[in-house]
Amino acid sequence: MKVVLLSGGVGGARFARGLYAALGPDELTIVGNVGDDLEILGLSVSPDLDSILYTLGGMSDDERGWGRADETWNALSAVADWGGEDWFRIGDLDLGLHLVRTQALRRGARLSEVTADVVARAGLRLRLLPATDDPLQTHVVAPAGTFAFQEWFVARRHADEVDEVVFEGASEARSAPGVLESLSEADAIIVAPSNPFVSIGPIVAVREIRDAIARRTVRSVAVSPLIGGEAVKGPADRMLSRMAGGTSPAHVAACYEGLIDALVVDDADAPAEAPVELVVTDTLMRDANAARRLAQVVLEACG
Amino acid sequence: MKVVLLSGGVGGARFARGLYAALGPDELTIVGNVGDDLEILGLSVSPDLDSILYTLGGMSDDERGWGRADETWNALSAVADWGGEDWFRIGDLDLGLHLVRTQALRRGARLSEVTADVVARAGLRLRLLPATDDPLQTHVVAPAGTFAFQEWFVARRHADEVDEVVFEGASEARSAPGVLESLSEADAIIVAPSNPFVSIGPIVAVREIRDAIARRTVRSVAVSPLIGGEAVKGPADRMLSRMAGGTSPAHVAACYEGLIDALVVDDADAPAEAPVELVVTDTLMRDANAARRLAQVVLEACG
């Protein structure tokens, strides 16, 4: 069964790990968000793609929730001592990937090529595709001003309420090689339990991807990132309240209008009404087994 | 007493630490070799300037002989895992400096400016100047071919005999800001116990520097890097044998023809004849105290 998963960072990566375990090898294509990507310390960093790589590759620090296990922080500590920027936390192991990627990009490789290479080196039998190889940057519009995603999320600790999310470059961005083919060959499309505005939004802001999903001939199922109307982590609930008018399954489904046939919600959010089919289950991914069980339920909902 | 020291990497850095301790604050200017500088993993690395910074800043790993104390190697290990180049050993703490420097250079700063900034941040009361801010690259000509310095020194473990050393860019290179002023204001010029060909050679390959030293009105004293005709570390003895015809004090002095008035040699190399005044002492820098004592002898020879 060939599946395309749209995924953002940490929550998406955990679901992706469950889905990868539930599927056979070479069945999963993940289209990852790159709107969070940034250049920091002269390095090209792709936090969401890396969260997926590390989580599925068994390298992630699940307790911290991001980055690599057994990480050290000496380079960043030296950066700070020498007067460099240290607001974006990059560990030493993580840095190795950014160095290799940045050098490959400078030599003319595409992000999709570099990503395919590291996925293969991690021994993963899946496709991990950036939504686009073109510049696409998520900015949040808040009362205090407009901020690049990581500036808002990390430096300002996503404290600002968000009035609007804009995707710079989206109108010119083409989908990365492989994305449209994967969507056309897929037996199902799944939207991970990621933030609809800043994780999935930048993916479907690429016109070709949005159109391909809107024209789908297979089922598309999203997993709500909320449990009992609250985000497990991050600002998804506050953003839904302010920008979608509420945190019910109907409000989540509205974010994906025309893009999904069903929404998987937690027991705590049922019963509920929504313009799409609702599937109710335990969506909290306590561990890898729970994520795999959730993935099974989602796959059944695709069937 | 204002002193200008010409210095290469490790041996020079150890002598520089002794000299810095022997002088008062703001009396020492070090003109460092940049012929070894390289771009690796997209980073601008200046090994000799960094050895001096780390050694004088109390951050060096004196046992290993290069790099920082309490160093870890996680970034480079990840680089290797992701298929990047790991032949040039860069530790995590060391990496922090390269990241900050590389970013500053990309933004248009000169190497001399970046270096002055990190020296100040290390709390050092001295000037550390690259010989030049311009491109100047040491290449060694060996029977097997011509190699960039670090390729020969690190990747090929300086196993090739060297027939000639060439300094690409030297004829166009201007001395870095401050070098000529420091030389003209100096009460003495000292050449550290560094490799004459590949550490001091690239400095005096800058025409303005060579001319300024040749026209000096103060004493210039070099310290031989050999003890009993042998290098404490590295290929200086083999290079002297092959390119200067021997390893006696006269052969070392010949490397600095017109540039020095006296040569400090080890007890093991005396008695000897040379075209410059010879000063005989114990030159082995067993520890920081020995380096300071040697520096005192050299300063007296400048008197």
What number of CA atoms fall less than 13 Å from residue A3's CA on the CB side?
30
Q: Give this complex's ipTM.
A: 0.95
User: Per the CB < 8 Å rule, is B106 touching A42?
Assistant: yes
Query: Which amino acid, A78?
Result: A
Distance CA A297, CA A279 (A): 9
Q: What is the pLDDT of residues A104-123, one digit of tens each?
A: 999 999 999 999 999 999 99
Locate the chain B residue with the closest alpha carbon to A78.
B96
Single out the residue of B193, B185, B152 nearest to residue B28, CA to CA.
Answer: B185
Q: Give the whole-angstrom CA distance, residue B42 versus residue B57.
A: 26
Q: How far is CA A231 from the centre of its chain?
A: 15
Q: Say if the Cβ atoms of B83 and A100 lie within 8 Å.
A: yes
pLDDT at B65: 87
Distance from CA of B146 to the nearest CA of A (A): 25
pLDDT confidence of residue B283: 98
Put simply, whether B50 touches A (Cβ < 8 Å) is: no
Q: Is A76 on the interface with B (CB under 8 A)?
A: yes
Asked whether B256 and B265 are in contact (CB, 8 A), the reply is no
Q: Which residue has the tokens 């090529």?
A: A113
Q: Provide the β-strand partners of residue B253.
A: none
Residue A57 with chain B: CB contacts under 8 Å: none
Q: What is the mean pLDDT of chain B?
A: 97
Question: Does residue B19 contact residue B295 with C-beta atoms inside 8 Å?
Answer: yes
Q: Give pLDDT < 70 ranges for chain A.
A: none
Kind and range of the H or E run holding B226: strand B226-227
Would you state the pLDDT for residue A303?
87
Mark A163-191 as b/e (b = at least 16 C-beta within 10 Å). Answer: eebebbbbeebebbebbeebbeebebbbb
Nearest to A82 among B72, B79, B96 (CB): B96
Beta carbons of A99 and B72 less than 8 Å apart: no
At A61, phi and psi to the nearest 5? -95, 95
Shortest CB distance from A96 goes to which of B77, B93, B121?
B77
pLDDT digits (tens, 9 = 90+) for A260-274: 999 999 999 999 999
Residue B112 above 90 pLDDT? yes
pLDDT digits (tens, 9 = 90+) for B140-196: 999 999 999 999 999 999 999 999 999 999 999 999 999 999 999 999 999 999 999
DSSP string computed for chain A: --EEEEE-SHHHHHHHHHHHHHSPTT-EEEEE--TT-EEETTEEE-HHHHHHHHHHTT-B-TTTSSSBTT---HHHHHHHHTT---SS---HHHHHHHHHHHHHHHTT--HHHHHHHHHHHTT--SEEEES-SS--EEEEEETTEEEEHHIIIIITTT-S--SEEEEETTTTPPPPTTHHHHHHH-SEEEE-SS-IIIIIHHHHTSHHHHHHHHT-SSEEEEE-SEETTEESSSSHHHHIIIIIS--SHHHHHHHTTTT-SEEEEEGGG-S---SSEEEEE-----SHHHHHHHHHHHHHHH-
Q: What sign for the dihedral angle of Cα A106, A108, A114, A115?
A: positive
Gap between the Cα atoms of A16 and A31, Å rounded: 11
3-state secondary structure of B47: helix
For residue A106, give the nearest of B42, B93, B99 by CB distance: B42
Cα-Cα-Cα-Cα dihedral sign, residues A72, A76, A78, A81: negative
Contact B106, B145 (CB under 8 A): no
pLDDT of B224 over the 90 cut = yes
What is the average per-residue pLDDT within B29-56? Answer: 97
The B residues from 94 to 133 touching A (CB cutoff 8 Å) are 94-97, 99-103, 106, 117-118, 121
**Strand-by-strand arrangement of the A164-168 sheet:** A145-148, A137-142, A164-168
Across B76-102, average pLDDT: 97
Query: How far B154 CA sits from the closest chain A CA (Å)?
Result: 20
Question: For position B16, what pLDDT does the model report?
Answer: 98
Q: Are strands A262-266 and A219-223 parallel, antiparallel or unpaired?
A: parallel
Tens digits of per-residue pLDDT, B230-287?
999 899 999 999 999 999 999 999 999 999 999 999 999 999 999 999 999 999 999 9
pLDDT digits (tens, 9 = 90+) for B35-46: 999 999 999 999
Question: Among B23, B16, B17, which residue's Cα sits nearest to residue B199?
Answer: B16
Checking B240-244 for CB contacts under 8 A at 24+ apart, the result is B240/B196, B242/B161, B242/B162, B242/B163, B243/B162, B243/B163, B243/B164, B243/B165, B243/B197
Separation CA B97–CA B75 (nearest Å): 14
Chain A contact set for B41 (CB, 8 A)? 99-100, 103
Residue B114 to chain A, least CA–CA distance (Å): 10
Phi, psi of A301 (to 5 degrees): -65, -20
Q: How many Cβ atoms are within 10 Å of B100's Cβ, its own excluded?
A: 24
What single-letter DSSP state applies at residue B175?
P
Cα distance between residue B248 and residue B241, in whole Å: 9
Query: What pLDDT, in 10s, does the model give residues B6-30?
Result: 999 889 999 999 999 999 899 999 9
State the helix-helix crossing angle for B288-302 and B10-22, rounded to 10 degrees: 70
Residues 6+ apart with CB under 8 A from B189: B3, B4, B5, B6, B183, B213, B216, B218, B219, B220, B221
Could you tell me which CATH class the domain A3-302 is placed in? alpha beta
Angle at the Cα of B270 from the Cα atoms of B236 and B233, rounded to 5 degrees: 25
User: Is some CB atom of chain B closer than 8 A to the CB atom of A273?
Assistant: no
Q: CA nearest B235: which of B159, B150, B155, B149?
A: B159
What is the C-alpha separation between B180 and B208, in angstroms, rounded?
8
* CA–CA distance, B18 with B10 (Å, rounded to integer): 13
Where residue B1 falls among pLDDT bands split at 50, 70, 90?
very high
CA distance A221 to chain B (A): 34
Alpha-carbon distance A96 to nearest alpha carbon in chain B (angstroms): 4
Which chain B residues have a beta carbon less than 8 Å from that of A78? 92-97
Residue B303 pLDDT level (bands cut at 50, 70, 90): confident
| B77 min Cα distance to partner chain A (Å) | 7
In which residue are the tokens 């919600």 written? A265
Between chains, do A92 and B94 touch, taking CB under 8 Å as contact? no
Give the angle subtended at the CA of A21 by the CAs of A17 and A22, to the nearest 5°: 115
A286: its two tokens: 């306590």
Q: Does pLDDT of B206 surpass 90?
A: yes
| Domain B3-60+109-302 architecture | 3-Layer(aba) Sandwich (3.40)
